[in-house]
Amino acid sequence: MRYGLWEHRFAISPAPSAASGRGAAFAFTNISKNQKAPMNRTWQHATAASIFAAITVFTGAHAQDYPNRSIALIMPFPAGGPGDAMARNLAAALAGALKQQVVVENPSGATGTIGSNRVAKSKPDGYTLLIMNIGMATQPALFRSLPYNVLTDFDPIGRVSDMPMTIVARNGLPQNSLKELIAYAKANGKKLTFAHAGVGSAAHLCSLLFMNVTQTAYTEVPYKGTAPAMTDLLGGHVDLLCDQTSTTARQIKSGGIKTYGVTSKSRVAALPFVPTLHEQGVAGFEAVSWFGLWAPRGLPKPVSDRLVAALQAAVVDPTFKSWLTELGGAPVPPSLANPEALRSFVKSEIDKWTPIIKKAGISAD
């Protein structure tokens, strides 16, 4: 029946298949104010209630079926690096908890923003996830313009792990203690070189914090990643590097490099003989490379709950814990593997690192 220029229409268009991951779609077209409604108000309310109930049932059914296909875990840094190793070990633990394949992909570049943006623009269905490090908290200060908002364009799943860092040096460097190193640096300006893995990397941030806290200056030598920086340190081409224990622990144990201390609040189980910087008089110094897990904004709650439960199972997985411990790191306790813990932690990290980055005057774009 026609009603002038307007007609009243209710429609629900479910996805053609569960595999598509699409939710129910529906549209409402208003009746003209000048036309008489073709149904009474009670019937309209009943119809609307039925529609929304159908949508809820349809969405819930899809969530209950999650996951029914493989999940893409986006690691926005190159394959072969410490972040990639973290992603692949976490993927194995998550796959065990979810009883579904979790595939790591590495769309890298632009300090992790290319891969992160891909996740931010993905469908919030739980089949595209992001594992990201401290960069999630430093990108707002490093980039004048980001294609996403780190706090509002992602749904946090939870914290994953903490990886302490170490101040290490080439074996031939004459200074044998942290106290000697700081004294020499203060007396000789930028004579010593400090390598890092690129602007905004964890290694770069650690070096900036060290210079800021100790009131020293060094000549910075940026590399495209951790591996070439470590290669040149081993070869004696640069003096210093601050990097996570997943990169440095084996070299320290083998005697390939010397170490001045770990950057965590307490000593590392994998390197019990290495004192903290705090123990050696650098009060309050802490620089930890951490990882978290995110999904695109708008994740259905049943899917989010399923992922949180899987992450909490992953962080206590014996194989995952053993791998991390061997490299000097540790998974967070299950109580921190949840959305609110990650959300508040990222906010605190933004507050910590933004003034340091601004003071250094660095930018990644």
pLDDT in tens, the chain (365 residues): 333 333 333 333 334 333 334 343 333 334 344 444 444 544 454 454 444 444 444 445 456 799 999 999 999 988 888 889 999 999 999 999 999 999 999 999 888 999 999 999 999 999 999 999 999 999 999 999 999 999 999 999 999 999 999 999 999 999 999 999 999 999 998 999 999 998 888 999 999 999 999 999 999 999 988 889 999 999 999 999 999 998 899 999 999 999 999 999 999 999 999 999 999 999 889 999 999 999 999 999 999 999 999 999 999 999 999 999 988 899 999 999 999 999 999 999 999 999 999 999 999 88
**37: which residues sit within 8 A by CB, 6+ positions away?**
8, 31, 44
pLDDT of residue 295: 98
Q: Looking at domain 164-262, does it have CATH number 3.40.190.10?
A: yes
Q: Which residue has the tokens 């189980």?
A: 269
Q: Does domain 71-163+290-360 have CATH number 3.40.50.720?
A: no
Residue 64: its pLDDT value, please?
Answer: 75
Domain assignments of the chain as residue spans, ordered by start: 9-64, 71-163+290-360, 164-262
Strand ranges in the chain using DSSP code E only, listed in sequence order:
9-13, 25-29, 71-74, 102-105, 128-132, 154-169, 193-196, 219-222, 240-244, 258-262, 288-296, 330-331
Q: How far is CA 321 from CA 84, 332, 333, in A?
A: 16, 10, 11
Query: What is residue 233's DSSP assignment?
Result: H
335: how many CB neighbours lie within 10 A of its CB?
Answer: 11
Provide the pLDDT for residue 148: 98
Q: How many residues make up the chain in this entry?
A: 365
Q: Same topology for domains 71-163+290-360 and 164-262, yes or no?
A: yes
Give the pLDDT confidence score for residue 63 in this predicted structure: 65
Reduce the DSSP state of residue 227 to 3 states and report it: helix
Alpha-carbon distance values, 314 to 169, 293, 317, 327, 334 (Å): 35, 12, 5, 17, 9
Q: Is there a contact between 44 and 28 (Cβ–Cβ < 8 Å)?
A: no
